[in-house]
Structure 1
Amino acid sequence: MNAELDEQFPIFLGSEIDQAAPDAALFHVLPVPYEKTVSYGGGTNLGPSAILQASWQLEKWDGQSSPCDLGIHTCAPVDCSVVPEKVMQNIADATAAIVKNGGIPVVLGGEHSVTFGVIQGLKAAGIDDFGIVQIDAHCDLRHAYEGDILSHASVMKRAVDMGIPLYQLGIRAYCEEEMQVRQAFGVYYQDADELVPQNINDITLPDDFPENVFFTLDVDGMDPSVFPATGTPVPGGLSWYQTLNLFESVAKQRKIIGFDVMEFAPINGFHAYDFAASMLTYKLMGITARNQRE
């Protein structure tokens, strides 16, 4: 097997598969170990490496299919040692290269501000008409947080400012400013206080929601009883299967052009959560592959 890109960032599922060439892979895994604006617990910069290392314990068969058969290429990690604006440009360049190569970006964060760079990359690759579906505990719709417009708490505001339609799922922590932004920008949403008590496992996207969808999944959107390994856990979140089912309900209705897994912060000594984040990533690949739309 082509075991490693380097010691810290092994290839995804490298115990089972060889590294696919970029032009032979449907899924391009992009590690982005960026953390600058987290406001509570830290460690999201360690998330991508932990997910890649834990992926070596996965089975090729995800329970329904082997998504790796369509090819997985693990990219070199994005350089996050530079100023935030340059980090976002580096993310955008890497994302655009994946799309231009015909691949689906699978981005591993890192704090949620990473998604802004991904969005810029999709645009740079010529994908102008797409919507975002977001699973999260937080709206991330503040104009700025602690004076920083590139904050993790502002990433979805950057998206709607660009005119990108947004559908939020599982939110349960927000401020008044964010409620006003939702109304002003026509943000669609089904919050946790509706989804969780009623055990809602599928949604119906509005007729005018774009055919192309980028799905951003902040792991704090899941309940801390399932996923405590994140910097800002909030009780009352989604379950494991509910999260997967909601993702699949979107994949059945629209074309998933990429997705990310954000805000995973490994807990030292608790490798179960590293494995869960890795399995979650692979499950999302499988759902995407089985519901591919031309």
Structure 2
Amino acid sequence: MEEYPIFLGSEIEQPEPHNAMFHVLPVPYEKSVSYGGGTALGPNAILQASWQLEEWDGKSKPCDEGIYTCEPVDCSVAPQQVIDNIAKATADIIKSGAMPVVLGGEHTVTYGVIKGLRDAGIDDFGIVQIDAHADLRQAYEGDFLSHASVMKRAVDMGIPLYQLGIRAYCEEEMAFRDEFGVLYQDADELVPNRIQSIELPEDFPQKVFFTLDIDGMDPSVFPSTGTPVPGGLDWYQTLNLFESVAKQREIIGFDIMEFAPIEGFHAYDFSASLLTYKLMGIVQRNRY
């Protein structure tokens, strides 16, 4: 298996797992992408670029909580086995008392993470999703484990879902939202009105897993994704929306999905790495 660098390895040494709040889990899985490819290269690019980060994120030092970089998940096997591998790795992180920070890979990876949270005994949690796409299709191109169906799999498991920044969906997905009570604030509301925070309903679970698809952000910020859609969130709006959730609920983990590096444009690798670290900082500052 390809050797991956540790996150922020220019500044910190790899801690013992039990001394780290954040466990970074690389998952270079890519099978069902339907437009541009390259998401399998995302985790390594983010880890490589993290060596250019400062320890101080502008407000605090997330690395003070400990950042442990896990071995990448084996994605060379059949899709269902990949999901099981992701679930086991995630469950192991949770059982160790740490927080999974998962780097994808296509968005199907999140299904494995969700299964892992359940396998670790976390039953009552919700998902907040930033994405350009609803990902609520029953199947896409006949594949029930498609990146376009990952949130449908989550809702089928009975997990409450709040979607942010969606701007590409089909009629099937709109009908499913209404039928199953999926909460949402789409990009056509968030972006023109420059909305920086959301208020979760009182009955939304107290524990939240946050999944961030890079294409949820505008292509002017991140063209480095397989299915870019104009009209997305900007840098600060994304951070502020995440923080508004962190202020209301306990973030039990998050992921960065669908980052596809563009060869020769290292700015995007660095941006994805900084985004990961900024989210760690928000969790750190709102955890106590």
| TM bin (shorter chain) | over 0.9
**Is 1:42 aligned to 2:37, yes or no?**
yes
The structural deviation recorded for 1:243 is 0.2
Structure 1, residues 1-25: CA drift from partner, whole Å, max 9, x if none? xxxxx97410000000011111110
Aligned to 1:74, which of 69, 74, 82? Answer: 69
Map 1:118-197 → 2, pairs under 5 A: 118-197=113-192
Amino acid at match of 1:83: A
Q: Which amino acid aligns with 1:249?
A: S
Q: Distance in 2 between matches of 1:26 and 1:71?
A: 5
Q: Establish whether residue 215 from structure 1 lines up as the match of residue 210 from structure 2.
A: yes
Q: What is the 5 A alignment of 1:270-285?
A: 270-285=265-280
Whole-Å separation in 2 of the counterparts to 1:167 and 1:8: 36
Aligned with residue 13 of structure 2, among 15, 18, 22:
18
1:243-271 superposed Cα distances (whole Å, 9 cap, x missing partner): 00000000000000000000000000000
Q: Report the RMSD for the aligned CA atoms in angstroms.
A: 0.8
**1:122 partner letter:** L
Identity %: 78
SS at match of 1:182: helix
Whole-angstrom CA distance in 2 between matches of 1:119 and 1:81: 20
- Tell me the CA shift for residue 195 of structure 1: 0.2
Hey, what's the Cα distance between the residues in 1 that align with 2:2 and 2:78?
A: 25
Count of residue correspondences:
288
Matched, 1:86 2:87: no
SS in 2 for 1:289: helix
Q: Output the CA distance in 2 between the equivalents of 1:195 and 1:231.
A: 23
Separation in structure 1 between the aligned mates of residue 215 and residue 2 of structure 2, nearest angstrom: 28
Counterpart residue number, 1:106? 101
Which consecutive residues of structure 2, in runs of 5 or more, have no partner in the other structure?
Answer: none
Alignment deviations for residues 167-217 of structure 1 (CA, whole Å, 9 cap, x no partner)? 000000000000011011100000000000000000000110000000000
Q: Counterparts of 2:221 and 2:190 in 1: how far apart (Å)? A: 16
The 1-side partners of 2:90 and 2:186 are apart by: 29
SS of match in other structure, 1:217: strand
Q: Distance in 1 between matches of 2:2 and 2:277?
A: 21
Matched residue type, 1:226: V
Letter of the 2:94 counterpart: V
2: CA distance, partners of 1:119 / 1:287 = 21
Residues in 2 aligned to 1:248 and 1:255: alpha-carbon distance in whole angstroms? 11
Task: For 1:148 and 1:34, locate their aligned partners in 2 and report how far apart those are by CA, in whole Å.
Answer: 15
Given residue 41 of structure 1, which amino acid in structure 2 is its aligned partner? Answer: G
The alignment status of 1:265 with 2:260, answered yes or no, reads yes
Q: 1:246 aligns with which of 207, 221, 241?
A: 241
Between the aligned partners of 1:69 and 1:240, the Cα distance in structure 2 is 24
Q: 1:120, CA displacement in angstroms?
A: 0.2
In structure 2, the partner of 1:28 is 23
SS of 2:58's equivalent?
coil
Equivalent position amino acid for 1:142 in 2: R
Q: How far apart in 1 are the matches of 2:286 and 2:244?
A: 10
Is there any run of 5+ residues in structure 1 with no aligned partner, and where?
A: 1-5
TM-score normalised to structure 2 length: 0.99
Q: 1:42 to 1:134 in 2, by over 3 A?
A: same
Which of 227, 231, 241 is residue 232 of structure 1 equivalent to? 227
Distance between the aligned counterparts of 2:270 and 2:4, measured in 1? 15
Output the amino acid matched with 1:132: I
Cα distance in 1 between the residues matched to 2:3 and 2:189: 40
Describe the superposition over 1:52-78 as per-residue Cα deviations: whole angstroms up to 9, x where unpaired.
000000000000000000000000000
* Residue in 2 that maps onto 1:3: none
Amino acid at match of 1:9: Y
